[in-house]
Amino acid sequence: MLPPDTIHRKEAFVNLSRAALASVLLFPALSASAFADGDTFLLVATNGHTLGKASYSIREAKIGYEVKSYYTYKAMRSDLPSTRTVGPPTDARSPASTEAQMYLTYKVAANGDLIEGYMQNQANGLMTSFNADRQGALQVSSVQDGHHGLVNTVPMPHPDFMLLPVYDPAAVQVLLTAASAHPSPESTYLLAVPNRDGAYPVQVHLQSAPPAAGVFHQTPCALKVYDLQFGTGRLGEPVPTARVYTDGAGHLMEADLSFFGVRYVRVDFALDQK
């Protein structure tokens, strides 16, 4: 049995999470038009099917950055990889299609470390809060249809980590911005990737790749390229790697996360395939 002080601390966190989630009930009033002046991307499946769109805004704040993100998608079962760790389920019991209308808002420190975040899926009414525990854990709390779920504690290897929701280009931009302004000694970063069970930690390594070119608003542009390696890979298998493209100022233009089954492509941008 848990000691009384631990029980009281968990109850306090649950109450705090409930209050925080209740405070974002006004968030649905935001619409895609609220992000019209931000950065807008297409979400494209690896089979070429456009799943939906994503928009975000990232603003500097006293503590670091405030991020607001919106994405919506409808994915057929054939659009998604057969992974059980991220994204919608794709086994034989999963529905023929999966829809989501996600609103996210989160605060991060100047080096990208998560402070707190809130996510709401208007398609099913699920609201989730993420809070960084400075003792080295991620606290995940959910509410759906007025029913409060249990707090899920995800142990992290160390207390400094970023949030990386799948299908959210804003998270990749936060990582790139933080890595540029506050690079880690070995270009290695710890991410918390939300999934159906709460989240899971993964170490990533960011390294430069040969430059590329593209066209944005019908104007040629030079691109910086990065490889984002996820974990170490299984024995005998290649390390899962995302290829990320930015303009000269560090703005995300495209990210290929094929192992998650999605590419983020900025609207009116095309990568030069030569």
Arithmetic mean of pLDDT, 166-177: 94
- Total number of domains in the chain: 1
Q: Which residues, other chains included, contact 10 with Cβ-Cβ below 8 Å and sequence gap of 6+? A: 2, 151
Model pLDDT, residue 38: 57
Q: Is 260 helix (H, G, I), strand (E, B) or coil?
A: helix
Q: Which residues pair with 225 in a beta bridge?
A: 209, 245
The reported pTM is: 0.81
Give the residue numbers spanning the domain of 35: 4-271
What average pLDDT is seen over the chain?
Answer: 81
Tokens of 124: 């099913």
Q: Is 14 helix (H, G, I), strand (E, B) or coil?
A: helix
Q: Which residues pair with 152 in a beta bridge?
A: 140
Whole-angstrom Cα distance, residue 146 to residue 78?
A: 33
| DSSP 8-class letter at 180 | H
The string of pLDDT tens digits covering residues 7-43 is 343 444 444 444 444 443 333 333 333 333 458 999 9
Closest CA to 264 of 239, 240, 246, 238: 246
The string of pLDDT tens digits covering residues 97-146 is 688 899 999 999 999 999 999 999 998 888 999 999 878 899 999 888 76
Whole-angstrom Cα distance, residue 243 to residue 158?
A: 26
225 has pLDDT over 50: yes
